[in-house]
């Protein structure tokens, strides 16, 4: 997919509207607890500054449906942190439209950076942002000369702040972060280096139906872990005890088993317990030895060793979702073991599709050892499904 990026456009002296994804977690004191998405956007912003653009940044933060929801959802703390990271002022305008915003944009000089308020504040009256209100998209587009989308986290949504603006601009390009997502996820789905292995975890088969089906068409192996394992196990007639299961998806699981055949790889053993908590007696059970009062909470050591041996032969690996309850130390060894293996593979393209597996890699210090860690959980899933993402489709093609 050849899309225009900021390398392909002249931004000197122009007002550049930049949709970033600064939907960062904050604690009750309004402090940012994970700045990864801010750090990931820095190369795009710095490139625009160096090329003497007038930079106008905007993002959503959380879900906002009522006036009460606005509490703690202002982007002002984000603007302050961004200012520290850029080592330059970032003017913050606490509005999403109006004369104060328009005046601030008009007063920008080349190299200046400003940010306006949470785009989801426009959802209080009729979901104008998330429903792509035509008037709102036209208004925001009127503030600038060029639109740069660098927010992969919302690329699977047709919002006023991405598709709405893009449809009203003569020049639309991807930022450097979005370019990476297109290259690594889109490129891998279209033309993977082989052997190509996928690892899918998480709780539910239903969350990843489309991903499993698409990856079965293009991957050489799909390794299954996490809570979804037990729906597949039950579909094969095994006792799963009190493990998490989607009984209404057993027929689907059987269909996927028939389609996947040898491509689908499942755990042979599990760490099981009678209670869903960390400090509880644990034993390792083979897949045909889970008792009626036990639940599976992690892959077992035999499975981890098997998965690690398979992955060492891969040229491309994509991973979405932990293979156990990694929030609990005693059930994190499967996820950590796979992460350590991926980090050690220096000649393999390794891609983490956002969400919990990505958070684990970053928090444990493996960020620099993974080829690409996606900034969009839902967007990466839909990209892995092979879907067209509206936010990417709206970017100008490179002629």
Residues taking part in catalysis: 37, 204, 355, 378
Q: What is 219-252 written as a DSSP string?
A: -SEEEE-STHHHHHHHHTT---TT----GGGHHH
CA dist., res. 342 & res. 352, Å (int): 10
CA dist., res. 235 & res. 249, Å (int): 9
The Cβ of residue 13 has, within 10 Å, a number of other Cβ atoms equal to: 12
Q: What is 50-97 written as a DSSP string?
A: HTT-EEEEE---S---SGGGGTT--SHHHHHHHHHHHTS--EEES-SS
Structure tokens at 250: 């057993």
**118: three-class secondary structure by DSSP:** coil
Structure tokens at 108: 């920008």
Write the burial class of residue 44 (CB in 10 Å: 0-12 exposed, 13-18 middle, 19+ buried). Answer: buried
- Give bridge partners of residue 272 from the DSSP assignment: 283, 296
């Amino acid at each position: 997919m050849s899309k225009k990026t900021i390398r392909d456009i002249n931004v000197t002296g122009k007002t550049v509207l930049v949709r970033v994804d600064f939907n960062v977690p904050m604690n009750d004191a309004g402090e940012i607890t994970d700045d990864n998405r801010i750090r990931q956007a820095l190369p795009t912003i710095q490139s625009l500054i160096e090329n003497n653009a007038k930079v106008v940044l905007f993002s959503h933060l959380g879900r906002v449906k009522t006036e009460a929801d606005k509490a703690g959802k202002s982007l002002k703390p984000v603007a302050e942190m961004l200012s520290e990271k850029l080592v330059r002022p970032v003017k913050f305008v606490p509005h999403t439209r109006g004369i104060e915003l328009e005046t601030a944009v008009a007063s920008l000089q080349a190299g200046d950076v400003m940010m306006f308020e949470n785009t989801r504040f426009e959802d209080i009256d009729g979901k104008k942002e998330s429903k792509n209100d035509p008037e709102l998209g036209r208004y925001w587009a009127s503030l600038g000369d060029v639109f740069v989308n660098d927010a992969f986290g919302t690329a699977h949504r047709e919002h006023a702040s991405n598709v709405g603006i893009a449809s009203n601009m003569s020049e639309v390009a991807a930022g450097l972060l979005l370019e990476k997502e297109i290259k690594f996820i889109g490129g891998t789905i279209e033309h993977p280096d082989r052997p190509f292995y996928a690892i899918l975890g998480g709780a539910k088969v239903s969350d990843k139906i489309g991903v499993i089906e698409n990856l079965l068409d293009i991957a050489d192996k799909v390794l299954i872990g996490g809570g979804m394992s037990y729906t597949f196990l039950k579909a094969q007639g095994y006792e799963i005890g009190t493990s998490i299961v989607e009984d209404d998806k057993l027929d689907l699981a059987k269909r996927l088993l028939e389609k996947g055949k040898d491509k689908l790889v499942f755990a042979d053993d599990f760490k099981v317990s009678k209670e869903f908590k960390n400090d509880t007696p644990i034993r390792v059970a083979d897949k045909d030895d889970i008792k009626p009062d036990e639940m599976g909470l992690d892959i077992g050591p035999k499975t981890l060793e098997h998965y690690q041996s398979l992955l060492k032969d891969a040229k491309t690996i994509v991973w979405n979702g932990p293979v156990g309850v990694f929030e609990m130390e005693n059930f994190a060894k499967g996820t950590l073991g796979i992460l350590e293996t991926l980090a050690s593979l220096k000649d393999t393209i390794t891609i983490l599709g956002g969400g919990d597996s990505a958070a684990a890699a970053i928090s444990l210090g493996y960020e620099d050892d993974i080829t690409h860690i996606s900034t969009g959980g839902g967007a990466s899933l839909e990209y892995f499904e092979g879907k067209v993402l509206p936010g990417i489709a709206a970017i100008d093609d490179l002629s």
